Amino acid sequence: MKKDKRIQRYSAPERLNHWVVAFCFVTVAISGLGFFFPSFNWLMNIFGTPQMARILHPFFGVVMFVSFIGMFLRYWHHNLLNKDDMLWAKNIHKIAMNHEVGDTGRYNFGQKFVFWAAIVSLLLLLASGVVIWRPWFADYFSIPLIRLALVVHSVSAVALILVIMVHVYAALWVKGTITAMVEGWVTTAWAKKHHPRWYRAVRDEQLKKEQRKAG
């Protein structure tokens, strides 16, 4: 495909950041399910042994949180709600039929929901995880607080898993999205259809750069 028909959506550092978060999520989600459900204990072998899973699970969780904070700092201002998001949400039935609605910016309402739901879940997971983290921090907290933290941690983990499942499904459903996550670019046709306001902003920026070079 000609380069003039491509638009960069994510840089190499952005993609690396995304896949670090994704890798850590897979490891902690799988091992966490092994902790929570006795019949899934074998899932803890993702870290080699159940003993290693109990040691490494929280460390991988911290890496995931810190990596996602990097994404948060990059993208939070693109995920603020506006009137176009309300139009998108009201016409979700059309979106489900692959008909785009509204003048969508870099992210649509569904993507913004995933973004904010993920950050809330991760904050709860971090806070509750510290409380139940043995042998480092748990001894500083009371038994009732630890029990509450276990409930919060479990519920938040399930919520995050569901959110990421929606994220993955949407990425597979919208053709061209995986390319953006893997190679960093999308076609101009994809950008015009799914994120027209973002497309115009990128196009205008490219025109300004060309004018500066020409001038």
Q: Which two tokens stand for residue 97?
A: 């039929």
Question: Does residue 52 belong to any structural domain of this protein?
Answer: yes
Q: Which residues pair with 7 in a beta bridge?
A: 186
Name residues whose C-beta falls within 8 Å of residue 128's C-beta, 6 or more positions apart in sequence.
Answer: 149, 150, 152, 153, 156
Can you give the residue range of the structural domain that contains 163? 11-99+108-174
Half-sphere exposure of 4 (CA within 13 A, CB side): 1
Smallest Cα–Cα separation from 119: which of 186, 167, 50? 167
Question: Does residue 198 belong to any structural domain of this protein?
Answer: no
Question: Does residue 67 belong to any structural domain of this protein?
Answer: yes
Q: Residue 55 CB: number of other CB atoms within 10 A?
A: 11
Quote the number of domains for the chain: 1
Question: Does residue 4 belong to any structural domain of this protein?
Answer: no
Model pLDDT, residue 4: 58
State the catalytic residues. 167
Question: Does residue 184 belong to any structural domain of this protein?
Answer: no
Question: Does residue 163 belong to any structural domain of this protein?
Answer: yes
Divide the 215 residues of the chain into consecutive groups of 10 and give the mean pLDDT of each group. Answer: 77 96 97 91 93 95 97 96 90 82 92 97 97 92 96 97 94 90 94 94 88 77
Model pLDDT, residue 143: 95
Write the CATH number for 124. Answer: 1.20.950.20
Question: Does residue 200 belong to any structural domain of this protein?
Answer: no
Q: What is the CA radius of gyration of the chain?
A: 20
Question: Does residue 190 belong to any structural domain of this protein?
Answer: no
